[in-house]
Structure 1
Amino acid sequence: MTILVAGNAALLDLVGVADRLPALHGNAIPPAARADWARGGAALIAALRMVRYGHDVRLWHPVPRDDRATAMFADLADAGVDTRLCPSIDQVIPNGVILSGHAGRSTWSNRNAIAEIGDMDGLLDGISDVIIAPVWGDWADDLLRAASQRGIRCSLFGAAPPALARQQWYMRVGNAAQIAASADAGHPVTATITCMTRGAAGAVVTVAGRDSFIPAKAVTVIDATGADDAFAAIFMAAMIDGKTPVEAGKEAARAAAEASLHWGAWPVEQARRAVPPGAGQHDRVLGALAGAATGETLGMLNSFVWMPVWRKEMAPGTQGDDACSPQQGDTRDQVANSLNDFFMSMGGSDPLAAGPGTRRALQTREQGEAVDVIGKTGVADSVAMRLAPIGVFAGLAQLDIAETTTLVEAAGWPVHVTSLAISGASAVVWAIAVAIRGDAWGDVMQAALAGAAAGATRGIGGDAQGIGGRIAAARALAAASLSVQKLVDGLAGLPGADGDCGNVIPSAIAIADFVQGDPAHAIDIAGRLGSDADTIAALAAAVCGAYAGTTCLPADWRPLIDHQLDRHRDRNAPLTLAQWAHQLEDLARAHMSG
């Protein structure tokens, strides 16, 4: 049983919020508080939501020869929508403008594409239901006529032209204005099941003259652009699945509420699918290093957005010979002194170049504390963020979990020596190590729990035992999240302070599990989390990159990473991502050979 969704409408929407709406015949759009381009197309949205519901879905919609349109239809195909019979056309991608304000909502769109259905028999082969999401055109008349001749049920959502009064529909879903317009014009559309949506006032489902009220789910609306389309798609999908009208209406109301929680009409998350592991170990090494580097870089941009107002500017960064570089053979005291001298040169005991844990340690050392205890308050997440190479080395050198945790403990010294910091860092590092070995994704996630447990037995006491439980709870939250927005909202409510391992590490592991090993997608989600976006993105992408390799990272990122690595090295010793990977591989071979 396959559903055919057919439509022809604007594919891109300029969605804005304005203090006032333009006059009916005016040609000026008032200043908007916010306006962004977002994907649209009612038929595309319906097809995507229905395939996520569990139906087999075929789509007919013209595809302009435009990179943006091509990407949209490729994403639909990746999600499982059959787009093979969508015709390509040499026309500009259709777009619309949607403005909301205190006075209501106004929409405009340019002329829709002109296209014909070429293979009607192929399009309707195996179809049980046809759902039309206009703008109307000759293509719709042809499709409706052919479907009716074959005894295929036809349903409609959205606006209806006068000619549709002659058609008996199975389902008709529309908002109050659309249904009233048909009746007022003297051509009411008749259907076996009619559902009229009324926004926050809920919906009314009418079957055989009997009305049933469906209450709306109360939410704080961010943008209602996709709410009607989400309601119609899920209502129809549930009805075709055998649900009662009331059951279908309740499911649709939940979908409409969720669609109002993010900007734009498209579902924020497409069907989740496992990413295949990287083809070879060297590629997985590159993926871990590239994931950590790009995650921190791209996440940092959003971290700044949330920076407290008293952070007006950043201190100059370091590069070349200005960096702190402890030497092999240095004692612990020498390492601590080297770090202390470096950060004091960058601004005293409260430098912007240091994280909160390091600053506290420097201040404690200034007060005369012994170097072995200056990190007793270090619970920050920064130690985990810089330890991806240790996870890579551990996986290459086939270290066991105890040996790996010892390296993590040493790398955190002298600033991050609490059990909490070591437990959180070990969770990430051991997950990377297991991914580098080539294990399955489920084993990588279990490794995070095992690493947390191993690290909890090291360092200066604290609430380390809770890291594993928090990781498990965050993964359960990710598994139950039907959209990125649901996941982000849930992670924002996790216990723990900003920058605390107890908050950041579970968030990173949960995001990695939600995207099933896709580092680029992990970075995109982590970037929405505010002040810790850089750390969470770096950790999640490092774990995902160690599993999937570089195949899921955009090809144009690699040269940018190499460029930044070169900037932060001595001019006489440039380092590319590949050279970094080879150094770790050489180090692992030397370790294994004794």
Structure 2
Amino acid sequence: MTDRYDRALGALTGLALGDALGMPTQLLSRPLIRARYGELTWFLDAPDDNEISRGTPAGRVTDDTDQALILGRLLVAGGGRVDPRRLADELLSWEARMTALGSADLLGPSTRRALQLLAQGAPIGEAGRWGDTNGAAMRVAPVGVVYPPDPVDRLVDAVADVDRVTHDTTVANAGAAAVAAAVSAGIDGASLSEAVTHGIEAARVGATRGQYVPGADVAARIEWARDLAAASPEPLDVIYRLVGTGVATQEAVPAAFAVLAVCPADPFQACLAAASLGGDCDTVAAMVGAISGACHGYAALPPDAVATLNAANPTLNIPELAGQLLELRDRLESRS
């Protein structure tokens, strides 16, 4: 197993691990999570009072992983580009399957709104005009596997191209670019600190792509959240109360980078911390797992946790996809 493949596999597996760990606690409050579970230590069945994930067994992933893998497969099919109409169709098909299975964990607000507009005849270039939530950032890790971190403009353009159908806004592009760049830098061997620096730079560039929407500057909030959490004796409480863990990109993405600042050494522990936050913590944990997994590699993930994940989700097929995405990266680099 080559080092770069180990890191690509770590990014996608880490994303799925974080997502699965946050599945039962998503949309619960942090005080409730702490009272019921303390800090999480392993996968949990979804509790009956979770309106989104109740009835879901421990270890199962959510739409965060499913959408990332859909995006990854489309990148492979398109040689590094994603056909926006095919992405829209795949997302609609996925939601139809989930609905048929009785799941309440469906498409997020920006994606659903964009796909509804497309169904009503809106052009691809207009459907994502107001998509500013974290759906773009949660599924973007495969773009980071395919595109090298430099030149940053090429990476950010690839992110914006993928985002256009559902999240064609400055805020969403900034958040997604931050995650993609951090993943990409990790695959090239960057330390976590170096990867975060790449993410912040890409967020600044990403904020120049797409349609303007009001919102706090994502790059600045990543820096602030990272420093705030690192200086706090109760960093997870500070992230929950001040940074925020809602679906807004300018909350969820800085929250993920803040968790990485306080859990830099162990990707699984970082995912557990993120899943303990509450709010949209499956998405925060998925981003944490993707970045930390890319920086530390698949070998740093606990084998028993990976085995539990694969047993609960036997159709993920992440190793093959990681290899295919890395082949695209090699082709891009050979043409540079």
Instruction: Identify unmatched segments of 5+ residues in structure 1.
Output: 1-278, 569-574
Q: Corresponding residue for 1:294?
A: 17
Q: Corresponding residue for 1:471?
A: 222
Q: Corresponding residue for 1:250?
A: none
Do the aligned partners of 2:144 and 2:183 also contact (CA within 8 Å) in 1?
Answer: yes
- For 1:501, the aligned partner's letter is T
The change in CA–CA distance for 1:502 and 1:584 in structure 2 (over 3 A counts) is same
SS in 2 for 1:454: helix
Q: Which one of the candidate residues 179, 188, 213 is aligned to 1:462? A: 213
SS in 2 for 1:477: helix
d(CA) in 2 for partners of 1:310 and 1:281?
39
Alpha-carbon offset, residue 292 of structure 1: 0.7
SS in 2 for 1:439: coil
Q: Which one of the candidate residues 292, 305, 315 is aligned to 1:544? A: 292
d(CA) in 2 for partners of 1:282 and 1:330?
22
Alignment of structure 1 residues 335-350 onto 2, 5 Å: 335-337=87-89, 339-340=91-92, 343=95
The change in CA–CA distance for 1:562 and 1:584 in structure 2 (over 3 A counts) is farther
Residue-by-residue CA offset, 1:537-570 (whole Å, 9 max, x unaligned):
11112111111123432121233344455424xx
Q: Corresponding residue for 2:315?
A: 567
Do the aligned partners of 1:392 and 1:433 also contact (CA within 8 Å) in 2?
Answer: yes
d(CA) in 2 for partners of 1:537 and 1:545?
11
Deviates more, 1:291-300 or 1:539-548: 539-548
Q: Corresponding residue for 1:448?
A: 199
Alpha-carbon offset, residue 335 of structure 1: 4.4
d(CA) in 2 for partners of 1:564 and 1:309?
19
Is 1:393 paired with 2:141?
no
- For 1:439, the aligned partner's letter is A
- For 1:355, the aligned partner's letter is G
- For 2:88, the aligned partner's letter is A
d(CA) in 2 for partners of 1:497 and 1:550?
26
The change in CA–CA distance for 1:478 and 1:582 in structure 2 (over 3 A counts) is same
Residue-by-residue CA offset, 1:392-411 (whole Å, 9 max, x unaligned):
2224xx64211111111122
d(CA) in 2 for partners of 1:542 and 1:450?
18
Deviates more, 1:325-334 or 1:290-299: 325-334
- For 1:359, the aligned partner's letter is R
- For 2:278, the aligned partner's letter is G
Q: Which one of the candidate residues 248, 252, 264 is aligned to 1:504? A: 252
d(CA) in 1 for partners of 2:298 and 2:245?
33
The change in CA–CA distance for 1:292 and 1:341 in structure 2 (over 3 A counts) is closer
Alpha-carbon offset, residue 491 of structure 1: 1.0
The change in CA–CA distance for 1:557 and 1:346 in structure 2 (over 3 A counts) is closer
Alpha-carbon offset, residue 591 of structure 1: 2.7
Q: Corresponding residue for 2:112?
A: 359
d(CA) in 2 for partners of 1:346 and 1:557?
25
Residue-by-residue CA offset, 1:201-257 (whole Å, 9 max, x unaligned):
xxxxxxxxxxxxxxxxxxxxxxxxxxxxxxxxxxxxxxxxxxxxxxxxxxxxxxxxx
d(CA) in 1 for partners of 2:119 and 2:55?
24
SS in 2 for 1:376: coil
Alignment of structure 1 residues 521-536 onto 2, 5 Å: 521-536=269-284
Alpha-carbon offset, residue 498 of structure 1: 1.6
Under a length normalisation based on structure 2, what TM-score does the superposition of the two structures give?
A: 0.77
Larger radius of gyration, structure 1 or 2? Answer: 1
Do the aligned partners of 1:295 and 1:539 also contact (CA within 8 Å) in 2?
Answer: yes
Q: Corresponding residue for 1:488?
A: 236
Q: Corresponding residue for 2:136?
A: 383
Do the aligned partners of 2:186 and 2:291 also contact (CA within 8 Å) in 1?
Answer: yes
Q: Corresponding residue for 1:423?
A: 174
Q: Corresponding residue for 2:42?
A: none
Is 1:581 paired with 2:322?
yes
Alpha-carbon offset, residue 353 of structure 1: 2.2
Q: Corresponding residue for 1:373?
A: 126
Instruction: Give the CA RMSD over aligned residues.
Output: 3.3
d(CA) in 2 for partners of 1:394 and 1:331?
17
d(CA) in 2 for partners of 1:372 and 1:504?
25
The change in CA–CA distance for 1:501 and 1:517 in structure 2 (over 3 A counts) is farther
Q: Corresponding residue for 1:593?
A: 334
Q: Which has the higher contact order (CA 8 A, sep 6+)?
A: 2
d(CA) in 1 for partners of 2:309 and 2:55?
21
SS in 2 for 1:556: helix
- For 1:293, the aligned partner's letter is A
Residue-by-residue CA offset, 1:245-285 (whole Å, 9 max, x unaligned):
xxxxxxxxxxxxxxxxxxxxxxxxxxxxxxxxxx9333222
Do the aligned partners of 1:523 and 1:540 also contact (CA within 8 Å) in 2?
Answer: yes
How high is the sequence identity, in percent, across the aligned residues? 30
Residue-by-residue CA offset, 1:396-445 (whole Å, 9 max, x unaligned):
xx642111111111222311111111100111111111122112333222
Alpha-carbon offset, residue 310 of structure 1: 5.7
Do the aligned partners of 1:456 and 1:465 also contact (CA within 8 Å) in 2?
Answer: no
- For 1:550, the aligned partner's letter is Y
Do the aligned partners of 1:479 and 1:514 also contact (CA within 8 Å) in 2?
Answer: yes
- For 1:286, the aligned partner's letter is L
Residue-by-residue CA offset, 1:87-139 (whole Å, 9 max, x unaligned):
xxxxxxxxxxxxxxxxxxxxxxxxxxxxxxxxxxxxxxxxxxxxxxxxxxxxx
d(CA) in 2 for partners of 1:374 and 1:522?
35
d(CA) in 2 for partners of 1:443 and 1:368?
44
d(CA) in 2 for partners of 1:312 and 1:446?
34
Alpha-carbon offset, residue 331 of structure 1: 5.1
The change in CA–CA distance for 1:288 and 1:378 in structure 2 (over 3 A counts) is same
- For 2:125, the aligned partner's letter is D
The change in CA–CA distance for 1:343 and 1:446 in structure 2 (over 3 A counts) is same
Residue-by-residue CA offset, 1:327-383 (whole Å, 9 max, x unaligned):
6498544543554466467659x9752122222223334555333222122112122
Q: Would you say how many aligned residue pairs link Structure 1 and Structure 2?
A: 300
